Amino acid sequence: MIVLTGKTASGKDTIAYKLLLKYPLLKRVITTTSRIPRKDETNGKDYYFLTREEFNEKIKNGEFAEYVGYGGNLYGTFKKELEQALISDTLWRIDPSRAGEVREFIKRTFPSGEAQDLIQRVVVIYITTADKVILERLKNRGLSESEIIKRMNDDNKIWQKYSQKYDFVVENAPGRLDQTLNKIISILGSNPRG
């Protein structure tokens, strides 16, 4: 299980997309959010989009392996989405605070034997890039200055708390996406199995 995480606007979605193209048998864990879809996003492909009320109902029903509030919205991963990791290699793109606790979620979601097997196959990769690049990308997304500052401060707090839980840190410098992908591919070693 490849757990891909990192700073806001560090290029995680682009990297995930490229990895899925390179490894067509790799299964993607689709996470869930209460936020409104962006114009280029599709329900069931990019995220499962729920209203806040629907999301809260699923929390009450115990359907999530994990969930978190971030940027005024809820994000989470259905237990059923993680079950595919038991039979094939998966790519799970999640928030860095949640990535820092991924092994705990697995322990709570699966029986101990399955959990231990899966934990041994987990690799958590944290994507970073320069703050000035993130600042520019967030401005281009139309976020307010206060929201940008909040997100960047949140990233720093999360890093301080969870940095020891990430197995690898990879810088995604502007214009160097291929180099970033090659670093990740070398970390993975061999082709993920389907």
Quick check: helix, strand or coil at residue 190?
Answer: coil
Give me the mean pLDDT over the 100-111 stretch.
Answer: 93
Could you tell me if 4 and 126 are in contact, meaning their C-beta atoms sit under 8 angstroms apart? no
Q: What is the pLDDT of residues 15-69, one digit of tens each?
A: 999 999 999 999 999 999 999 998 889 999 989 999 999 999 999 999 999 998 8
**Domain range annotation of the chain:** 2-29+85-188
Q: Which pLDDT does position 190 carry in this prediction?
A: 54
Residue among 70, 61, 89 nearest 151 (CA):
70
Is 28 tagged catalytic?
no
| E strands present in 34-97 | 48-49, 64-70, 73-78, 90-93
From 28, 93, 98, 151, the catalytic residue: 151
Q: What is the pLDDT of residues 140-180, one digit of tens each?
A: 988 899 999 998 999 999 999 999 999 999 999 999 999 99
Q: How many CB atoms lie within 10 A of CB 133?
A: 17
Is 38 tagged catalytic?
yes
- For residue 152, give Cα distances in angstroms to 4, 8, 123, 135: 18, 7, 25, 8
Element (DSSP H or E) covering residue 5? strand 2-6
> pTM here?
0.88
Give the span between the Cα atoms of 136 and 124, in whole angstroms: 26
CATH 3.30.70.520 fits 2-29+85-188, yes or no: no
CB-based contacts of 49: which residues, under 8 Å, 6+ apart?
32, 33, 34, 35, 36, 37, 41, 43
From 28, 35, 38, 193, the catalytic residue: 38
Is 151 tagged catalytic?
yes
From 108, 141, 176, 193, the catalytic residue: 141
Please tell me what DSSP assigns to residue 189: -
